[in-house]
Amino acid sequence: MKIINKFQKSGIDKILPDAKIDEFLFEPCGYSINGLLPHGQYFTIHVTPEPNCSYVSFESNVPKVDQAQMLLREL
């Protein structure tokens, strides 16, 4: 099931505003977003909420300094 605007609703667009994204909502549950940033940088987030155990992952090649600046901008 393709979804629209979860990127904005989640607030990720404020942390990574220049990202070109592809996102997907899985049935019965789960969310995946992949983003491309300038200079060959990327990020991917996967969320699988389950009653007994949930899973969240984040992967990126954005330099740590840039990540800290992104988070501080939102705080």
pLDDT (tens digit, 9 = 90+) per residue, 28-72?
888 898 999 888 999 998 989 888 889 888 888 887 656 566 566
The answer to whether position 1 is within a domain reads: no
Residue 69 domain flag:
yes
Query: Does the residue 59 lie in any domain?
Result: yes
Domain count of the chain? Answer: 1
pTM exceeds 0.85: no
| 14 has pLDDT over 70 | yes
* pLDDT, position 72: 60
Length of the chain: 75
Helix (H) or strand (E) holding 25: strand 20-25
Q: Is 3's pLDDT higher than 60?
A: no
Establish if 20 belongs to a structural domain: yes
Whether residue 49 lies inside any domain: the answer is yes
Preceding omega of 28 cis (within 30 degrees of 0): yes
Range of the domain at 63: 6-74
